[in-house]
Each structure stands twice: as structure tokens, then as C-alpha cells.
Structure 1
Amino acid sequence: MRRPASETRAAGAPYADLRRGSPALALPFGIVALLALVTVVLPPYERPLWVAVLAAVSLVIVAVVFLLAQRRTERSWLDPVAAYLLFPFAALVHDAAGAGAGGNGSGMAALLLLPILWLAITGTPQQLWVASALAILTFAIPIAVVGAPHYPFGDWRRAVVWASIALVLAPVLQRIVRDLERQTRRARVANERVERLFDDAPHGVALLDLDGRIIRANISMAVLVGLDPPDMVGHKLSAFETPGESRIDDHVSRLVARPGDTFDTECNFRDSGGNDVSVALSSTIVGDRGMGEVVMVNVVDISDRRRYLDRLSHLADHDVLTGLANRRRFETELARHLDRCSRVGATGALLLLDLDNFKQVNDTLGHNAGDELLITIAGLLRRSIRSSDLVARLGGDEFAILLTDGDQGAAQRVAGLVVDRIRDHAATLDGVARRVTASVGAVTFRAASEHAADILALADMTMYDAKEAGRNQIAMLPEGDERGPRTAARLHWQSRIEGALENDRFELHLQPIMNIATGRISSAEVLLRLRDEDELVPPSRFVYIAERVGLMPQVDAWVVDKSLEMLARIRAEHDPEFELEVNLSGLSIGNPEIEQAITTSLTKHGVDPSALILEITETAAVADVAMARDFAARMTDLGCAFALDDFGAGFGSFYYLKHLFFDYVKIDGEFVAHVQESQVDRTIMRSIVGIARDLGKRTVAEFVSEPEILEVCREEGVDFAQGYLIGKPVSYDEFAGEFWPSVAAAVPKD
């Protein structure tokens, strides 16, 4: 089977470096040969006419052989034959012109240059050797056959000279031609490569003159604006910028002013469809022999990156569920407004509201119904304020409204509107959701300045005034009233917390945690409750006050001691491998009192430190990260484990992972509650599990309330599950009765 021409040329080294003869190259050789033939057919005639005719016939044969060779797609034996046939043609023309006796030729011997030059340009060294032999034969055959006086023996000198030309000078010319061909080919390949790199670059590339006009643009550049590359040539690049912007002109001006530098900028293009495309420009001035100095601009479409960053920025400042501002954004805006008030005078108000009976919705109808209600109420709040005001979800069912302008009357009207709208909306719902109302505490910034107190604390206390007064109403802190909030609910809570510590009125409930791989309840989370008369108060009602008034370390110390006492009992009576997760406030992490309480209680109750898992909420504020890290290191050396709760709910997650010691990562329930139906939540869960696994940490999924959720957790590689499907928080006796019924029945209760 015949190989392709490219393979044939590559296989033969000489052919790989030499050009093949073309009609354009052969034309000047043919002209010279024809002129020589014409000169010998003109009188006077030194030789018979048939010699000239035979020369003409031989020249025709040369032409025919050359044309036959051209019809082939690859080199063959025909290519040098045409050149070889020029030797007898040169001999005939030389003879027809009349080679004189005694070695005085007609001068037509110079025609021997034609085949030698041709082979030097298109042939191989071996073919030049053949040409040398043919040059000798051109002179030797007439000498040997005809002899003197027409062809004297002295013509051998011409044979030697022409053979030397073919053997010595022609190879030199051949090497020169070969080197020129190589250089030309390299230059052409390099130029083609540059052209391809320019045209096929995955990002936009444009060449501009120093005025910013487009000289050339590649396909990717044209695609960005929805045109063909030729349609962009001649226009200024700034013509494709979003109207009203002038960044490109400034960019080019700065570049021209400092030609040795590279400048970067970001701007927006307006495409042919009227859509804006975010791009990043990187430009420099380069020299071109043909065009002089030109500006080369690299253009990268960063629309996806911009949308991603905008989304991250939005997530950093907004609540994932409701889309409202989160606590971080709220605190930033509150600080900004307080600064404004200090400069121009107090104005505006802060409204803090909490949903009444909302917990019953979650407990009775499930978290999905609770989430839907929160989303609806968020919409009601958003429609109740001006665009210049701010509504935020601070956590759970607690919201805040920052009115940036207005007096006490305006705050009263907005608060009343909020209470009415929430009550009226809940009235349209079924079941326990009908009983959901709002308690609102409203404080103007003028009133807060009169009390010289933290407005958020005042609003919180005022909100609890509304709850104490019967809920579903507003409590307003009057301006000019030195008494402060009527019941000073938060201050009252401080005394209630202190009394609970003194009189042991706190209770610990246990929520089971299941090892997904084994299905075994291997641990539980300790949850704090406050027994206040007939009410069992959840920590959301009093932990905030305890943190504010500095009582949280004492509360945490009580929890640690009672938890370890309970753990010692569980391991002795029920499960010797059982573990407990104990929550610590972010403000308690690193506190010497807590460290002393842990070490003392471990010794006091004889509990293996590895059975104690200290849990910190990721959204909690750690007072001193460096001190907390040292604390975590000491506790880890002691044998205790750490868990990071609500992972993903805030943006300190990765910072804490890097700077603190954690053994468990508890995935925030926001990403678990709907994971069976939300691909986004499932992707986030998979990412958290992957990060935890790579860091050598184990994962716990919270809010596991349905079998489908548990199955997704199992498929994604979560280690432990916690939620109402596994078990609700219950007292110790109920917990033991449910999970160790036979043992619990045999052990008398206290």
C-alpha cells in the first residue's frame, strides 16, 4: 500500500529538507533553455539542422517528463529524470552551436548549469553525483566516439571543471537552499502557530492602536460582544463598553502613558443583545515590525465569577432561609446608624420582635411547616418597611427592624402594623399556626441615648415586657422616662438565672445520637432547661441574658459537672462506651473557670475524658481565639473531644477548623432538613462530609426528622444522625427507659 506523501518525505531524510520542483521554479530554467535553442537555429549554421531538431525534441521530452512528475502527489524517479535529460539537450545545443576544433567550444557548455542548479535546488547529494557523471559523459562520449578534430581530447578539461561544479559547488548551494527552506518553514510554522494561538485562544484577545481602535480581534473576543471579528475592526474598544462607563478609555490612556507596564482592570461589555458581560482586561504595549507599537488586550469573561462572588457576598450578609439580612449584617448596619446618630443627632428606632407559640408549630407540624411560616412572615415584614429601613432575622423566630428615620410615633405605627399583619395572616392558617402572634419591643435611638444603654439590650428587654404583658402586642420604651422597661425583663431574668444556680433549678435533657453505620445509639447531646414554676424554659430564653450579664461560665460549669455525673451513671449502669456531648458557650471557651470545672468534675466522677465531647456552636462568638486554641489543646491532651456545632450556618466555620481543635463537625440543620428534596442542600452536605473526612473529622447531621433524610445521610457518608426521627430531647429517666428498658426497670429511680 502506498504511504502518504508526508510520510514518504518524512521517511527519506534528504527529501524532508528539500523543496520539490514546481512550474514556477521551472519557468526560468525553461526560458534559458528555449533561448539557447533559438540561438542555434538562427544562421549561420555550423552543424546540420537535424542536430537542432533533435535538441528541440529532447527539450520537449524534458518538459513532458517534468509534467508527468508534477501529476504525482509524491516524489518519484521521474523528478530527477527531467534534470538528467537536460544533459543530452545541453550536449546537442552545444554541438549545434559548433564546438570548434582544438577545444574552442561555442560557449553553450554553460547550459550544463541548468541541470546542476536544478538538482542543487530540488535534488539530493546522490543525484548530484549522477549529474557530475553525466557532465563528464557529455564531453567524454563525443571525444571517444567522434574524436579530433571536431572533438579534441583537450575537451576533458571542460569535463573536469563541470564535474567539479556538480560535486563541489552544487552541494554548497544545495546546503544553502536547504537551510533557507528550513528557516522559511520554521518561520512559517511559527507564524501559523502564533496565528492559531491568537485566533483560537479560549479568552478574548484584541490588538489596538494607541488610540484604542481595534486592529484585530480573535473569535473569542468577538463572541463576547456577539459580532464577527471583521465587524469589530476599526471601532474603539470602548464602543463595546456598557453605556455610561469610561473604564476602557482610562485603561488605555494609563497604558500609553506608561508603556513598559501591564495594567489590569474590570469593566462591563454590552453585547449585541443588550446584555452586560463582566470582563477582566489585562493589557500591555508590544512592538510589531509591521504595525509599530500596538496595545495587546487579553479579555476574560468573569461573569460567572462575579455572580459567584455576589452570591457569596449575599450569603455572608443574608439569612439562607428567609433571604433577610442576618445578624452579622444587622449588627454592621446598627453600628453604622449609631455612628450617624452620634454625628447628626439621634433619629430612628429599633424594633425587636419574637413570634409567640412558634415552637408549637415546629413540634406539632414539623420543621418544614415552621420554615414555610418564617418565610411568609419575612415577606410580611419586608413589605411593612421602607426601602431605606432594614429587617433582619437574628436567629430562630427572632427578627429585628431598623428604622433609619422617624420618631416614636413612626416606630409605634410600624410596630402596630407588624403585629396586626402577623396576627391576621396566622388567622388564615390551620392548626396551632393560628395561634402564632408577635411580641414587639420598640426603642427609639433618642430613648436609648437618654438611658445611656445598649439599644439592642433595651429593645430585648422591652420585647419581653410585651411577652410578660400577654404577648401579641407592642411594648414601647417611652422617651423621657427614666424608669426604663416596665418589668426590666432581662434584669429579672438575671436574678432568675442566679436563683436557678443557687437552688439547682436547671435540668438536663438528653437527645440521642445514632451511629449511622451500626444503627446504635452511641451518644447523646445534653440540652439545658430551666424549671421555673410549672414552665420548662428553653435556653433560647435565658442563655442570651446569661452571656450578657457574665453568668454563662457559671452555667456552663454547672452543666459540665451535672453532665459528667450523669455520664458516670450511664456508663456504670447501662453502656460503658456511651459518650455525651456538652454545649459550651463561645464566651466560656478558654475561660479558666470552665477548664478547672472540667478537670475537677472528671476526677470527681471518675469519667474517662474520651467520653466527654465539648461542643461549641459555630455561629457563637469566641471571645479570644488564641486563648480558646490553647484551651482546646489542653483539653485534647487531657483526652476530651471537641465538636463544632451548626457547621455552615456562619462564615467562621473554616476559620475555626483551622485555628481550633475539633473531632466532630455537626452539619447545620438548615442543610439537613430538606436534603432529601434539595440538590443544593445535598451538594453542601457532600462538601462538608468531604472536607471533614479529609481533615480526619467525623460528621453529625442534625434535624434528621424523616427516614428519607436518614437515607441521604447514609448515602453521603455522614457518620452520626440526630433529630426527631432518632429521638426527641427527654429527661434522663425517659431516655434510659426508652433505650435501656430492661436495665432501667431493674434499677430503682431516685
Structure 2
Amino acid sequence: MNKLIQARTTELRNERNRFAALAFVWGDLLLELDGDLRIVFASGAADGIIGRRQQDLAGHLFTSFLAKQFKPLVTEMLQVARRRGRMDNIQVRFSQEDDQLSPPVSMSGYFLPDLGDHFFVALRVAINALPPEIVASIRRDNASGLLDEESLSKVVTERLVAQRETGVEHKFTLMTLNAFDPLCKRMGQIERAELMASVGAFLRAHSVAGDTAGRLSSEQFGMLHKPDIPIGALEKRIEECIRDADPKGIGVEVSSTATDFTAEVIPPGDLTRGVLYSIRRFCDRQDHGFTFSRLMGQANNLVNSTFSAMQDFGTRVDELKFDVVYQPIVRLPTAEIHHFEVLVRFNDDDGKLIPTQELIAFAEQVNMVHRLDLAMLRRTLKWIKSQLETGITVRVAVNVSGHSLENPDFCRSAIALFERNRETLGQLMLEVTETSEIKDVETAAKWISRFREFGIEICLDDFGTGASNFRYLSAMEVDYVKIDGISIRQSMKTGKGKAFMRSLVDLCHEIGVEVVGEMVENDAMRDLITKAGFDYAQGYLFGKPEADITLYWRDAPTHR
């Protein structure tokens, strides 16, 4: 029996020595922790990593040296190692003197029950740390310590780029904690903070590099992870944790959905926006509809599908493979055509028309709308030139997203285009559209002034009653504002609303801006906006968008 014990002891000692030798090939510091996570042995570059001499570490809790935000993560990872026998590579940081944080440190190791339930941990200065500019831009959810949505998309992008180089596959899991928000609201502040830290630690501990997990909404969480992570077991552990913390002992139901997140196809450009779009669509895939045929339905690999759609969209835009239609804007009260708005039309691979609003939303979210706007300008200027050659002088307005006005590359390209096509600019107008807020109004205003130097008139589209609209009107030199039909209909319901609309029109006239009314579909609405002083109108009453602009000469409007 003694010989067996000695043989087993020798075997275990050799196993430990082999691990130590291999650890030093990989790492800079080796630690042995007992079952209570106290350091019993340390060897290596303790000064540079933990900020203390290796001989001063014995007897101390390993977690006591960690930066506060990493303590729940490492505690959970060690519990995972206790069950699985190993701890995958994660990134942590230690608290050094004067509350300074150590550089990012990669941490991995094993749990060996035959050696007194000890952990063997290897640390090294992280060589796959995120770029400094990404680290500096990261923002976290205060309650859970998880990345916010934008930051998660940046980190996932970095992991996907590395994944393409290494061939390691990942999955992205969306985890929904049903009725979690009302549970948190009925908990005490301290208990709620502890619960959120625990949930965050569970998700980070199972994510790539221990920090590729984010909070996407009050009840939705997402993480990038290896395919072998036991999501079902993780759901149960989170449910148990929440049930224990719930004052009523009820807890919540946790549900998860996973998709492959690999990066076989990554186009040039803003990769992060494509990842962010993928994450948002995954969170809300039942309601979000934009796609070419590849993005229809439940895509197995959402990132690849999104990037394929981006490539497809970019190719179609750059090669002008899309259709346009023209809708008239008429002068009031005569209904004489003043100009046409040019509207883009895309069909998916099955020939089905893609709703324009979804198309623009996709283009803006993946940071490609400036390419569409530039393509529309190229196509329209070419079309104007062909019309002038046949003796037709018709003015047309092209939509330009507020996002594009914040993109200096688009603006410089547009000016170069204007320089080459000066003979057509007398028939060109621009409509500045705002599907989301223009953040840098001052820069947008400067570019608009440059465009106006070419004699191009500017219309501010989607003008309503919001405070941002008046900020734009005050900052930007424009010739027209287009008031959306919803605002008009709401205002015309009451005497106070009608008075407000008349005052708005008077204000525009006072500063030399003419007013267009949108979505005019019947004579009653036409009469209302005419009495309110509108200068122009657009809507089905005067003509639907048509591919053939000559239809408006063959079938002139009867409303005069």
C-alpha cells in the first residue's frame, strides 16, 4: 500500500512539475492556490504583474490583489475550474500601489483534486489585449460591469478579426432574464448591486477572454463564447442565483438563443457598425425586416449574413444597380410642378421591393449611407445631363442623409462631383434628411454653405415640431423646409394647432425660407395648408412616384 501511495505521490508531483515547466513556457508568473484561494506558492515576475515580491504573496487571498471589478469574474472562473478541471484564458488586472491598475494580464490554469484541491494558475502580460484606442473608448453598464451595446460591438469586432486569423469559431448567445427589471426594482439597493455583479460575473466568466459580454437592455444580455460552453447549465446557475436573491424567493425564467458569430466574410469599412447591426437585429429579429434575400428569416450565422448584405449593398450602390422614381412637388395654389424629388428603389434577390425606410435604416446603421448618397448624386447628375441634351430642363432634389454631412469623405467627394458637372447644377437641389439626430450641426452647416456656393438650393426634410429641427433651421442656411404630413395632420385638428402651424410658416417666411407640405392626399388637406401659407405641396393628390418623368407632361395635374 505504501508503495502505491508513494508511486501516486511521485506521479502527482511529476504532473505538477510538468505543468510548472509548461506554465513558464507560456507565462510570466506561476501561483499555487489552496482550496480557500490562498496563495501557497509563487514563482516568477510577481513585481511586474501583481506589484509585490513573490516571497510576500504566500498566505494572502489571491482575489485580494485583484482590481475590484475583476474579483467576481475570477471567483466565478475558479468555481468553473473546480467543476471542469481547467480555467480557460481570461484577461484580468491587478490593483497595484497608489490604486494603479496593472497592465492587462492573461490568466489560465488547472484544478487538481488529487493535489489537495489546489489550483495552479499561470499569469502573463496579455499579448492579445485590445488596442489602446478600443480600451479608452469602452463604456460599461454601471450595475453589472458588463460592456454597453456600442462597446460590446467594438470588442466583438476585435475578437472576430483575431478569429479569422486563428480559425477559432465562436457563438453569440442572447440571454433574456424575463421579468428581471421588476424584480430588481423591488430589491434593496445593496442586494440589487450584489445580484447585478453576480450576473455580470457569470456572463463574463464564460465569454471570450473573460470580457466579451454586454448588457443590451434592462433584461437582455449578450456574450461571445466558445461553442462548448454549457449554456443550459449557465442558465440554471443564473436562475438559482436570482431566486436566492429574490426577497420573494420566486426568481425569473432565463431563456437563451444562440447564433454562430464567425468572420469568414468581412468587407472593408466600418466593421464595428456591421457587428452592432448584427447584435441589434439578433436582439429584435422578430420585428427587424431589412435584408437582401440572404438576411431573410433565421440566419444561422448572423454576422456573415450581415457582412454579405453589406458587400451586396456596396456593390449595387457603387455600380449604380438600383432604380429611381420621381415624385412632383407643386406650387400652391396653382399645382404647377416646381421640381421632383428623386427616390431610390432597391429590390431583393427575389425581385421584391425593399421598403425604403428599412433600406435607409440599414445603410445608416452599418455606416454606408454616404455611399448611397454619393451614388444617387452621380446617377442624378448623369440623368440631368441627358435630359438637358434632349431639351428638357427639370429640377430634381436628391436626398442626403444628415449622417453623410458629418462624413468629410462624402462631402469632399460631392464637391469634386459638382466641380466636374457645373453645367447640370442649375437643375440640382438637395434634401437633408434626418432619420436620426445630426450630432455635429456646426460641421454639417459648413458643408451646406459650401454646396450652396455652387448655386445648389437646400431643403431641410422631415421638419416637425421637435427642438432639434429649430436648432438645424437656426444653424443651417437652407432655402426650403419640408414639414412632414404627420405633424401637419396633428396640428390641423385643433384651433391652437392651426395657429401654431401658421406661426411656423410665418417664421420661415420671415427668414427667407419657403415651406413644403408633405403627404397631401386630399383636397381638404390641400386647402388647409394653402390657407396656412404653405408655398408648395407634395403627395398622392398631385402624383405618385413614377419611373418615367414624362408621364407628368402627358398626364398633367388637374388641380389648378
Q: TM-score, normalised by structure 1?
A: 0.37
Q: Of the two structures, which has the highest relative contact order with CA contacts closer than 8 Å and spacing of 6 or more?
A: 2
Larger Rg: 1
Structure having the larger proportion of residues in helix: 1
Q: TM-score, normalised by structure 2?
A: 0.48
